[in-house]
Structure 1
Amino acid sequence: MKWSELKAGLLEAGTAKITGGIKGIISVSTAGPSSGEGGSVFFSSGNMRVRLSIADDSPVEIVITDRDNAVLKFEGEEVEGRVEPAALHCPRQAFITVSEGCIFRCRYCSVPTQEKKFKSPERIEEMIEEVLPDIDCISLTSGVIGSPEEDEERVIEVVKRVMKFGLPLGVSIYPLKDTPEKLHGLGVLEVKFNLETATDKLFREICPGMEREQIMDALIESVRLFGKNRVFTNIILGAGESDSEMKACISELTALGIIPVIRPLTPKAEMSDFKRPSRRRILDIAEYLGVEIRKNGLDTTVAETMCTACTGCDLVPGRDF
């Protein structure tokens, strides 16, 4: 079975049960739809990687044979590889959440129900120093605590502090009008501002209080400032959109020089009764994304930070197939 087909099935499952020692290799997310879960693991084979939440009842099994080797078993397939340690949130990255918690209440996300707290620039600097030998880049994300303006200020202070490490830096926050210009002026390499849904209608239903047009404007301005292959946006697959709506969104974004990160829905919070998208749909949409990326002269392999560099949670054209 091709890796892309296998990974689509793994992303549909979303989980894995672990046999063997797991000390030091569990990653716990504090941002996004997987926040607050009991942990996850990153399985890699060669240059391919997938992130799966840990669940004892999963149809996927990862057998850890020793610290550097593991076997993934799924539907009669056995793939040799390893479980990668997460530096901070994911392998080879210091991917740090500045503000844990959020004033917005997107229906797919449990972050607003968690305790609201934020890390100081000093603490984030210490965290990075602790993992420096094991990372290739720094990625910052954040919920919104207080107001978008307050949170932007917090993130900018962190950006100023961590630029001294001389590593590629990516930032993903809720953008204001001048956010792209501010981040570009500070030397940030890549940005990801999340549109979340394939349509404006779904966005209004799922992310009340947020402004999708504002996010789109920031993405367009970012392409002008950062250039092609440096601007990304998460789009959830399985939030109620049709295939034609998802494809239209992909075509629009890639034509503008924006690379969509197609993220299979994790059913939780107010959308816990939804189902994860099927492997066939995950693969079909990823293949369409690949066509549109190539048609518009984009290249996912250029990404140096955040989700497209990691590939754990998504099927990424140009990296997975």
Structure 2
Amino acid sequence: MWTSLKAQLLEVGNVKLIGADATEYESKSTAGPGAGGRGSVFFSYEGHRVRLAVTDDSPITIRHIGGGTVMLTYGCIEVLGKLEKPGSHCPGQAYITISGSCIYHCRYCPVPGNAAPTKSIDEIVTLVKNAGDIHAISLTSGVVGTVEEEEKRALDAVEALKQFNLPIGVSIYPVAGTAQRLHEAGAAEVKFNLETATPELFREMCPGMDRDLINAELDTAVELFGKNHVFTNLIFGLGETDDEMKSTIDEVCRRGIIPTLRPFSPAAELKDLPRPGFKRFMNLYKHHRAALASNGLDATKAETMCIACTGCDMVPGLD
């Protein structure tokens, strides 16, 4: 039931929040899907979760009864569940964006238009201290200044956050040697994002970025961090075919990398492009599950970042 329900909810991607005040359950993002938007909530049902953007106009309604208990209604579907409190951006983790702006202008990404500030190390440490009951720390970032400067900020943050004795995951745009330096600094997991199913789409969607470099750092990361601890985002809904996406899923899984299948969320230059539909979610999810299994990969072993959260994506083994 959950897999089908989550695919239907992610097909829409947003929710109308009514009922008792739910401010303490809402989260705002400066990176990823929904960056710069009104905010989002994490709906939980029988140990599973989905993250939905809050809007005034959605076919999905969540009525907050009180104390985090909610009734989700979508057409003929009615499900009693819970809202989860975000630690810092997502439940159970302090998921922190270091730099909330970016010199790159990926066509689907709202971050360059946000002009959000870069957090200091003291601010990052304070966010973790105030995150409540968490089991992991995750860091992501745009690129402000140079890629090398952004990597240095991430390395400094990892060093400062080791005091909490929690696994630290890092997702940044790499340069040559980034995986090695993050490993030496004490990061537990890394995510370097290939973003698209094909190199041709990557050149179109992410001008100025180097896919070959990302691939090289991913392979180095598998050698250093091991299987089940290296990830890459693959966005579906940007114009690729199912065969192209499945081929890339197979390729990265063979290399020991767990792909995060991220549904396209209309934003930036592509704000008028539709979200992927339910049938596509289910088709790719089934292929993703089989590809992980056939290559000895297990998403339940992930300790940090998006795979461990599951809010924005369907994750085999956890959904």
TM range (shorter): over 0.9
Q: Which residue of the partner structure matches residue 223 of structure 2?
A: 224
CA RMSD of aligned residues (A): 0.9
Q: Which residue of the partner structure matches residue 93 of structure 1?
A: 93
Moved over 3 A (4+): none
Q: Which residue of the partner structure matches residue 296 of structure 1?
A: 295
Query: Is the 2:24–2:85 Cα contact (8 Å) retained in structure 1?
Result: yes
CA distance in 2, matches of 1:244, 1:30: 32
User: 3-state DSSP class of the match of 2:95?
Assistant: strand
TM-score (normalised: structure 1): 0.98
1:87 aligned partner, one-letter code = G
Q: Which residue of the partner structure matches residue 319 of structure 1?
A: 318
Whether 2:202 is the aligned partner of 1:213: answer no
CA distance in 1, matches of 2:75, 2:223: 46
1:221 aligned partner, one-letter code = T
Alignment deviations for residues 262-292 of structure 1 (CA, whole Å, 9 cap, x no partner): 0000011101121000011011101100000
Query: Is the 2:105–2:112 Cα contact (8 Å) retained in structure 1?
Result: yes
Q: How does 1:1-321 map to 2 (within 5 A)?
A: 2-20=1-19, 21-131=21-131, 133-320=132-319
User: 3-state DSSP class of the match of 1:82?
Assistant: strand
1:245 aligned partner, one-letter code = E
Query: Is the 2:159–2:186 Cα contact (8 Å) retained in structure 1?
Result: no
Deviates more, 1:235-244 or 1:109-118: 109-118
Deviates more, 1:99-108 or 1:116-125: 116-125
CA distance in 1, matches of 2:229, 2:74: 35
How many pairs align? 318
User: 3-state DSSP class of the match of 2:80?
Assistant: strand
Query: Is the 2:11–2:278 Cα contact (8 Å) retained in structure 1?
Result: yes
5+ residue gaps, structure 1, are none
Q: CA deviation at 1:75?
A: 2.3
Q: CA deviation at 1:70?
A: 1.0
CA distance in 1, matches of 2:235, 2:213: 18
CA distance in 1, matches of 2:117, 2:70: 36
Query: Is the 2:93–2:136 Cα contact (8 Å) retained in structure 1?
Result: yes
User: 3-state DSSP class of the match of 1:118?
Assistant: coil
User: 3-state DSSP class of the match of 2:24?
Assistant: coil
Query: Is the 1:33–1:111 Cα contact (8 Å) retained in structure 2?
Result: no
CA distance in 1, matches of 2:121, 2:210: 28
5+ residue gaps, structure 2, are none
TM-score (normalised: structure 2): 0.98
Query: Is the 2:168–2:187 Cα contact (8 Å) retained in structure 1?
Result: yes
Percent of paired sites with the same residue: 50
CA distance in 2, matches of 1:177, 1:229: 22
Query: Is the 1:27–1:40 Cα contact (8 Å) retained in structure 2?
Result: yes
Q: CA deviation at 1:32?
A: 2.5
CA distance in 2, matches of 1:7, 1:101: 30
User: 3-state DSSP class of the match of 2:130?
Assistant: helix
1:169 aligned partner, one-letter code = I
CA distance in 2, matches of 1:69, 1:126: 29
